[in-house]
């Protein structure tokens, strides 16, 4: 045995070195990252599109990348209307489809209020996420003098009729011409409720307050 060891010292040294390197590499190699299934846009999707089969695909992502409000399956959001455009591969949440999820992150008591603007064409100037002042004008300028008042200041727009389709769970009618939906605090919502029956509603685009 001693003679054999003497004759094969170099071979044994090489084997021991290989074993040592292998153990070191194994210890330094990180374990495979855990992933879960999430659901994302299968293609670029425009705002206002009603989601259907094939619009959503599965992705494997780390668990901490899955946002709150994610659908539980590819079909969970079928029939719902997108409130914002989505890029291919962008993860879906309930904040991107028309419905209560659009109020995600809003202060407690915030309400989604639909408003019919006096000038339907003006809706083309506003898109979800923009801030507007809502103005009520009463009187016709002839027999009754015209007066205007601001009912709500710097409320964010959640949805507009320019995006197409219907206004989902908020409205019982498909007649959405001239409609916008805004997120309003409780006191603003009380002033805005039924305001279109008191006069004409208009909006004014405003800039966000500096951070």
In order of their start, the domains of the chain are 33-97 (3.90.1210.10), 105-206 (no CATH)
Is 183 within 8 Å of 106 (Cβ atoms)?
yes
pLDDT tens track for 126-160: 888 899 999 999 876 566 677 889 999 999 998 88
What average pLDDT score do residues 91-120 get?
Answer: 88
Please state, in angstroms and rounded to a whole number, the distance separating the CA atoms of residues 17 and 196: 84
Instruction: Identify the three-state secondary structure at position 12.
Output: helix
Q: What angle do CA 153, 85, 36 make, to 5 degrees?
A: 115
Is 80 exceeded by the pLDDT of residue 26?
Answer: no
Please state, in angstroms and rounded to a whole number, the distance separating the CA atoms of residues 206 and 25: 59
Please state, in angstroms and rounded to a whole number, the distance separating the CA atoms of residues 129 and 208: 10
Is 70 exceeded by the pLDDT of residue 43?
Answer: yes
The mean-pLDDT minimum among 50-54, 65-69, 174-178 falls in: 174-178
28 vs 99, higher pLDDT: 99
Please state, in angstroms and rounded to a whole number, the distance separating the CA atoms of residues 127 and 165: 15
Looking at the chain, the whole-number percentage of residues with pLDDT higher than 70 is 74
pLDDT at 83: 81
The mean-pLDDT minimum among 24-33, 59-68, 122-131, 199-208 falls in: 24-33
pLDDT at 12: 62
Which bin fits 114, alpha (ψ -120 to 50), beta or left (φ > 0)? Answer: beta
pLDDT at 49: 85
210 vs 180, higher pLDDT: 180
Please state, in angstroms and rounded to a whole number, the distance separating the CA atoms of residues 6 and 44: 70
Is 70 exceeded by the pLDDT of residue 10?
Answer: no
- Residue 117 per-residue DSSP state: -
Is 90 exceeded by the pLDDT of residue 38?
Answer: yes
Is 90 exceeded by the pLDDT of residue 27?
Answer: no
pLDDT tens track for 149-191: 999 999 999 888 876 544 444 444 445 678 899 999 999 999 9
48 vs 25, higher pLDDT: 48
């Amino acid at each position: 045995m001693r003679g054999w060891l003497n004759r094969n010292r170099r071979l044994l040294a090489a084997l021991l070195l290989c074993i040592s390197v292998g153990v070191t590499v194994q210890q330094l190699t990180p374990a495979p990252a855990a992933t879960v299934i999430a659901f994302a846009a299968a293609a670029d999707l425009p705002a206002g599109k009603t989601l259907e089969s094939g619009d959503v695909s599965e992705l494997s992502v780390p668990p901490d990348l899955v946002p709150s409000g994610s659908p539980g399956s590819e079909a969970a959001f079928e029939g719902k209307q997108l409130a914002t455009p989505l890029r291919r591969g962008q993860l879906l949440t309930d904040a991107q489809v028309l419905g209560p999820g659009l109020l995600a992150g809003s202060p407690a008591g915030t309400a989604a209020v639909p408003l019919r603007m006096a000038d339907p064409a003006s809706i083309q100037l506003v898109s979800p996420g923009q801030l507007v002042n809502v103005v009520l004008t009463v009187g016709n300028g002839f027999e009754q003098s015209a007066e205007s008042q601001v009912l709500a200041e710097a409320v964010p727009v959640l949805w507009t009729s320019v995006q197409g389709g219907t206004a989902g769970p908020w409205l019982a009618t498909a007649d959405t011409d001239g409609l916008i939906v805004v997120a309003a605090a409780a006191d603003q919502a009380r002033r805005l409720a039924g305001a279109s029956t008191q006069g004409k509603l208009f909006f004014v685009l405003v800039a966000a307050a500096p951070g």
